Structure 1
Amino acid sequence: MLQNVVRFLLRCFFKMFKVRFELNFDLKDLPKKGIYISNHVSYVDPIVLFAFLPGKPIFALHGQLYRNYWVRLFMKTADIMEYGNLDIPDLKHLIEKVNSERLCVIFPEGRMTTNGNIMKIYESAGLLADKTDAPVIPVWINGLQYWSYFSKTGGKLPHHYFPRCKIVVDAPRPLKLKDELRHQRNHISNEIYMIMRQQAFKSMYDPSLTVFTQLIKSAKRHAKKYFGLVRPKVMEDISRKPKSFKDIMLASYVLGRFFYKRSEHQEPIGLMLPNSVAAICAFFGFNAYGQVPVMINFSAGVKNIVSGLKTVKSKKVVTSKMFIKKAGLETVIEAVKNEGFEVYYLEEAVKKVSIWAKVLAYLQYKVKYVPYKASVDDSAAILFTSGSEGSPKAVVLSHRNIVSNVWQIATFETLNRSDVILNSMPIFHSFGLVLGTLFALYQGAKVFLYPSPLHFRVISDLLYELSATVMIGTDTFFKSYAKISHPLDFASLRLAYAGAEGVKLETRNILNEKLGVRLMEAYGTTECSPAVAGNNMVFNKFGTIGKLCPGMECKLEKIDGIEKGGELVVKGPNVMKGYILADNPGVLVPPVDGWYKTGDVVEIDEIGFITIKDRIKRFAKIGGEMVSLKAVEDMICKAFNDKEDFACGVVAVPHEHKGEQIVVVATDESLTLECLREFIKNNGYPELYLPKIILIKDKIPTTATGKIDNLALKKEVLAELGI
């Protein structure tokens, strides 16, 4: 009776201070015995859970929490016990309690988070569920990590006296351990981690937010002034004028309104700008007023640019005179004008903005006004595929796609206000736009936008100058940075992620040995906004692309001639609205039943790590046998890993008798058929891996993200061979 009164009073108190409780199942489905597994963000966690959780559970608290004065005071009527995650007698005692038809609460991390995300997971929670055959009930606490004095995230997350808090409890589920892995401690803790990660995504992601309203929410949370005086600066570019959330939102309101008055509703507007604050403000401004930014790859050439604009039925292009001049794109912009497109320059647009427009923007900022109430399924951006294996396709991403993917990524790694991310990956690709910019901005980290990933020396110096903590890139770029960098250039880096192409052992080794950087590999596609899978500090397996993002489903479709694995097909909130194709301009072609075929042949191991074997289009059919061109390329790179500037590309071209033949294009004359034949023989590779022809060239064509442009390479080979 007394416990019920105390819990009622605590609930009333917490509800007064913005604590919301969400139970995602019917109370009649609450098991008699079960294990609540919760993240741990503050000293208040057990008190809040005591107030709200149904079933009057036992609280198994680690020593620091068990001895806390406030916990003991407010939980006098609760059933609590001191519990050590490595203490076998404590585990046995808890097993007895659960087996006697009791619910219990346990914090698998064994300590409070210092970054707001999941920490190390002890296997004791999994052992408890396994030994008692009790279901686990995932709990996620979001918000208390921002509570002053009661959390351990000081200096990393903004602190508030009474932050909004949301507690989400998901339905009970059995812990499924594979029999062959049941005795592996890492497997047990990994299963608990994956359940908690899924729960984290469900709790952190708000499906009602658009790209712009998520910016407003992040600004409210992270724009708190330092000492009540100075707003934190969250974005900077090579102009070296750092901007705050306030600056970004004011510019977004001004630019958005300017082009809104000159455009139709939901009109796609081309955005031809480099990585810059102005480009991001224009991106947000278009979305604020219901226009759709079309991210133009200005390095794609006039033909592809014009074709892309016509495909999406865009009539306008927004760019900058300074950028056009510095990038030498005068002929490109003239060709765009000659095709009938209206070209607006930001320099001229800014001059036309009236004082009233600026005052209005300020008033909109003060009330956090949303000019256009977009649906989350409205288009938020149109990007184009890289075109490395065919003509670029227009990919339409919705607000749901982009915002959900940001929070999927956040379950892998959390950024905070102490982080600085150096983003040189172009924002006309989703890798640079979503992962390199929006992901960091929404979490309150500072973003430095650099216009080109090819300035290796400058980027290394910027890392050193900015004390950057996070960096994204490709294998090719990271390898180039490592070759010319001083070890101290990378000294501040805590996270380095590579995507767009596979990470080679040579790149990983040079970064680790020379610079002390652990390079993580992730995988994504423009069609998935972009993240699909990734490694992180908790689970990392070299040679794989990590594990699938939470909230996504996947299946493997069998391919004739390939025995192991299949084509990766995925579904989730981040999967695109659809394609717009050049032969049917303006018409959206959505993925069938929401499933997107990636075109990648993969294998998935027993604990969820995904290994890419190759692209479907990157297999050669030689005499009826399927040969992976990626496997041939990897073999050649391994044979020549002592060559610093060695690069090669592998393509399949028609053969009169065998159907197809393998052609290797390399930059080093020492690569010969004889040396490869010897390497294959000595290292046990299949004879089918031996190419038919080797061509030596000074340069191999690449895309804007640094990966080999296989389409251009194949055209060059076919032309040279006269096929």
Structure 2
Amino acid sequence: MRVPLDAKDGEQTIFDGLIAARDRFGDKEILEDLDRKPLTYTGLIRAAFVLGRKIAAMTEPGERVGILLPSSAGVVVTYYGLHAHGRVPVMLNFTSGQSNIKAAIKAAGVRKILCARRFVNQAKLEDLLDDLATVAEIVWLDDVRKTIGLPDKLYGLMAGLMPRQFRVKTDPSSPGVVLFTSGSFGAPKGVVLSQWNLVANCRQVAQHIDLKPEWVMFNPLPTFHCFGLTGGVLLPILHGMKAFQYPSPLHAKQIVELLPDVKASILFATDTFLNQYARVAAPDDFATLQFVVAGAEKVRPETHHLFNTRFHGLKLLEGYGATEAAPVVAVNHPDRNRPGTVGQMMPGMEWRIDPVDGIPDGGRLFLRGPNVMKGYLSAEDPESVEPLAGGWHDTGDIVDIDKDGYVSILGRIKRFAKIGGEMVSLTAVEGLASAVWPDARHAVVSIPDARKGEKLVLVTDRRDADVARLAEWARSHGAPELAVPKKIMRVAEVPVLGTGKTDYVRIQQMAELEKAA
């Protein structure tokens, strides 16, 4: 199946897309962060050229350069600065732990990491940076900025007037970013997205939803997460909306108070964070929002209920994405919102659904399109990218698509257990637990079982959770007995990743350690 993408503007590079946006929308304010010193398009272009030239003096053309920064105007300037001078940004997840970050540095062949002392001090990452300094050179942007003098400013002034003459020419098919999957299952994998993958995905979203240039996009998500980079930075800037960058999604109270102050129109976040924001927000805190977009994890019924009851008329739009697809694959529309689904496929996407033995409804989703990655980084050779067979990306997700094209996520292929010969969706079992205890957070994993092949383990922060209550609810609602976990682990907090997604790797380890004890 395929929905056509309007290709009238042709393929573009990241930096040419920025220049074209200034031509189209005029020299308006386009970027702001907590420092409250907004940049116009020209201000962003000049800053990118000036900082980018400093970095270019210490790197090679085409070199992959690590960026370890929070969501801020600084990370946006740095990202565009690398593109202005033909370098490739590698976004490093500073919440993923030393071993994962070092593995990412090695996999991408990163020799230099761009960072800021102010951020490291505030986030208390000194030990992490000391460790990373053993495998790559740390370049402190604070120090680089101190070396900017009059010649650099004059260069930036000229480059801002004639950016197409000053920028290093690259190809839309050349790398736009190297990102790493969140590692929900196993070690993170390096994803190489082309410049056109990223620009195309922004166009797909803008063709699907009519975005107004007077709107403000509020981005609390980190740019090492594709949702934060594409949705929170590139999409608004390429389509005339101011992009407001907030350094951490964890600051629920500060964020909800800031939303009306910056006149935020769209808020991007994950279910975990949106649930927290909705709990602490007064109705007026969301008054300027046109709609809210949730991605990266399933939206719980409780979160929908919070938005429906506390913020009447505010649409919570669930979407679906993958780092490998830059990331937006499908999203609901403000005028055609179907809670429980992740909306309709983006224009320009092809998809197929392959049947899976033991799963009667839906199938395994494969994707191809202008936003689908070039490939994964080879584990053996940082310079090599393993291309996709026929251009198709295997999402590993089990989905169903109805006659109107709305996509329902039934689970991940790895999120199914085989119990007594029957396939059981772990996602569906989490839904069962959420129905019984909607105010708690739950995660379900499976461990080997000598009698039935696998056994379900519910990890929950509900202190009085018990198997009998689950079994009673399942019987009264016609859920199969196989879907009731026979073991419950009660924890103070269900582990999550820095992006807010459930950390299934840690939860699996916890369940296996408990079994072995």
TM-score w.r.t. length of structure 2 = 0.97
Larger Rg: 1
Which residue of structure 2 lines up, in the alignment, with residue 541 of structure 1? 338
Alpha-carbon deviations, 1:561-613, whole Å to 9, x = none? 11221111000010001111444433211111110000100111112111110
| Amino acid aligned to 1:366 | L
Aligned counterparts, 1:549-568, within 5 A: 549-568=346-365
Which residue of structure 2 lines up, in the alignment, with residue 245 of structure 1? 41
Aligned residues of 2:291 and 2:334 also touching (Cα < 8 A) = no
Q: What SS does the corresponding residue of 1:665 show, helix, strand or coil?
A: strand
CA distance in 2, matches of 1:523, 1:420: 22
Aligned counterparts, 1:138-217, within 5 A: 198=4, 201-203=6-8, 206-217=9-20
1:347 aligns with 2:142: yes
Aligned counterparts, 1:190-339, within 5 A: 198=4, 201-203=6-8, 206-224=9-27, 232-339=28-135
Q: What SS does the corresponding residue of 2:168 show, helix, strand or coil?
A: coil
Q: What SS does the corresponding residue of 2:36 show, helix, strand or coil?
A: coil
Q: What SS does the corresponding residue of 2:231 show, helix, strand or coil?
A: helix
Aligned residues of 1:629 and 1:651 also touching (Cα < 8 A) = yes
Which residue of structure 1 lines up, in the alignment, with residue 466 of structure 2? 672
Aligned counterparts, 1:101-112, within 5 A: none
| Amino acid aligned to 1:722 | A
Q: What SS does the corresponding residue of 1:240 show, helix, strand or coil?
A: coil
The counterpart of 2:393, out of the listed 585, 596, 600, is: 596
1:490 aligns with 2:286: yes
| Amino acid aligned to 1:351 | K
Aligned residues of 1:575 and 1:596 also touching (Cα < 8 A) = yes
CA distance in 2, matches of 1:606, 1:440: 31
Aligned residues of 1:207 and 1:404 also touching (Cα < 8 A) = no
Alpha-carbon deviations, 1:356-396, whole Å to 9, x = none? 12211211111123421101110011011001112111111
Q: What SS does the corresponding residue of 2:7 show, helix, strand or coil?
A: helix
* Structure 2: tracts of 5 or more residues without a match: none
Q: RMSD between aligned alpha carbons?
A: 1.5
Q: What SS does the corresponding residue of 1:411 show, helix, strand or coil?
A: helix
CA distance in 1, matches of 2:263, 2:161: 33
Aligned residues of 2:264 and 2:289 also touching (Cα < 8 A) = yes
Which residue of structure 2 lines up, in the alignment, with residue 693 of structure 1? 487
1:681 aligns with 2:464: no
CA distance in 1, matches of 2:195, 2:492: 43
Q: What SS does the corresponding residue of 2:208 show, helix, strand or coil?
A: coil
Aligned residues of 1:223 and 1:244 also touching (Cα < 8 A) = no
| Amino acid aligned to 2:506 | A
| Amino acid aligned to 2:465 | L
1:473 aligns with 2:473: no
Q: What SS does the corresponding residue of 1:704 show, helix, strand or coil?
A: coil
CA distance in 2, matches of 1:475, 1:566: 25
| Amino acid aligned to 1:658 | K
Which residue of structure 2 lines up, in the alignment, with residue 634 of structure 1? 431
CA distance in 1, matches of 2:339, 2:484: 26
Aligned residues of 2:332 and 2:338 also touching (Cα < 8 A) = yes
Which residue of structure 1 lines up, in the alignment, with residue 409 of structure 2? 612
| Amino acid aligned to 1:628 | S
Q: What SS does the corresponding residue of 2:360 show, helix, strand or coil?
A: coil
Alpha-carbon deviations, 1:16-65, whole Å to 9, x = none? xxxxxxxxxxxxxxxxxxxxxxxxxxxxxxxxxxxxxxxxxxxxxxxxxx
Work out which structure has the larger RCO, using CA pairs closer than 8 Å and 6 or more positions apart in sequence.
2
* Structure 1: tracts of 5 or more residues without a match: 1-175, 177-193, 225-231
TM-score w.r.t. length of structure 1 = 0.70
| Amino acid aligned to 2:91 | M
Aligned residues of 2:260 and 2:285 also touching (Cα < 8 A) = yes
Identical residues among aligned pairs (%): 37
Q: What SS does the corresponding residue of 1:202 show, helix, strand or coil?
A: coil
Q: What SS does the corresponding residue of 1:500 show, helix, strand or coil?
A: coil
Aligned residues of 2:88 and 2:177 also touching (Cα < 8 A) = yes
| Amino acid aligned to 1:653 | I
Aligned residues of 1:633 and 1:649 also touching (Cα < 8 A) = yes
CA distance in 2, matches of 1:459, 1:707: 19
Aligned residues of 2:375 and 2:385 also touching (Cα < 8 A) = yes
1:569 aligns with 2:366: yes
TM-superposed deviation, 1:220 = 1.4
Give the paired residue count: 515
Q: What SS does the corresponding residue of 2:176 show, helix, strand or coil?
A: strand
